[in-house]
Amino acid sequence: MKERIIAYFDERPDQFMSGEQLSQFLQCSRTAVWKHIQELKKQGYRFESVTSKGYRLIEKPDTLSAATIIAASGQLSVFSQLKLHSTLDSTQSEAHRLAMDGANHGTLIIADSQQSGRGRHGRPWFSPAGQGIWMSLLLRPVLSLNFAPQMTLLTAVALCRTARQSLKANVGIKWPNDLLIDGKKISGILIESVGEDELVRYMVVGVGIDCNMTEDDYPQELTGKATSLLIETGNRINRSNLIVDFLREFDELYNLYMESGFAPIRTLWESHSVTLGNPIKLRIGDRLVEGIAESMDEIGALVVRWPDGSTEKIYSGETQ
């Protein structure tokens, strides 16, 4: 039924179609028409609705292209195969399932939408169809489990550099892994590692990027906190191309890290940070503390100076 609605609008470009016209064409009630339109909106279609005139289709969702991603990523060391889904519960959960079944290093899982997308600390991640990039990359690095958190910092650098270079977006990294534009979040990173004998058995690099949402697309609880690349740059984002750009940047930094260690990644992270040198509020367990974020140490801990002049290395926590 929804395909028939889109075909009907395609045959009448830029025209308003009343609910009555659509109900007669589809042989259903106007209430059913409204419900189908709402479902199409969830899939990324955009309609203008005007009282007494009806609906006008103004935009179709950006369709992810498996061919584009595979063709451009085939020579990368962090890419081996693509699993592209229209919807998943969570790309992270799917990556773990595939990992347990023996999937190869470099398996990339992408979903056009997620039903139960999640961020850090199990928080839900808003993942509407056609509007963002929701993906997880399965890696099997030869790496001590103690160093696994460094991959979070590496991923943040790769994503920040991609947004700056490909989109000219004024993006900065908030410790440890959020990407912000003018204080609003455009992306989040979730890395989950499974170890064995103190080594990484596999890790899942989860990335969520708000690409083509408008302010009206966000639920109320995210208003003023989240933003999209479309809102900030004024340009619609080709998601397939952005995925490719990120994979190339991530591949370069991943190989640099494996060859030269964390030092060059640390330098890059510091150069893109919006946290260092500024006051910071941290929740560490049950504690809520304030200090100045001074630097990042040689293994990736955040060095914070407290009001009494003492310093502490923070390995995990949450900025407020």
Tens of pLDDT along the chain (320 residues) come to: 788 888 888 888 889 999 899 999 989 998 999 999 888 887 778 888 898 899 999 887 778 999 999 999 989 999 999 999 999 999 999 999 999 999 999 999 999 998 877 776 667 778 888 899 999 999 999 999 999 999 999 999 999 999 999 999 999 999 888 999 999 999 999 999 999 999 999 999 999 999 998 888 888 888 888 999 999 999 989 999 999 999 999 999 999 999 999 999 999 999 999 999 999 998 877 778 899 999 999 999 999 999 999 999 988 777 76
pTM of the model: 0.84
Same domain (yes/no): 198, 312:
no
Q: How many domains does the chain have?
A: 3
Domain at 11, CATH number = 1.10.10.10
Domain at 248, CATH number = 3.30.930.10
Between the alpha carbon of residue 237 and those of residues 93, 180, 221, the distances in Å are: 26, 17, 24
Same domain (yes/no): 177, 79:
yes
Same domain (yes/no): 172, 224:
yes
Name the residue range of residue 8's domain: 2-59
17-52 in b/e form (b: 16+ CB < 10 A) is: bebebbbeebeeeeeebeebbeebbebbbbbeeeee
- CA–CA gap between residue 318 and residue 158 (Å, rounded): 21
Same domain (yes/no): 263, 279:
no
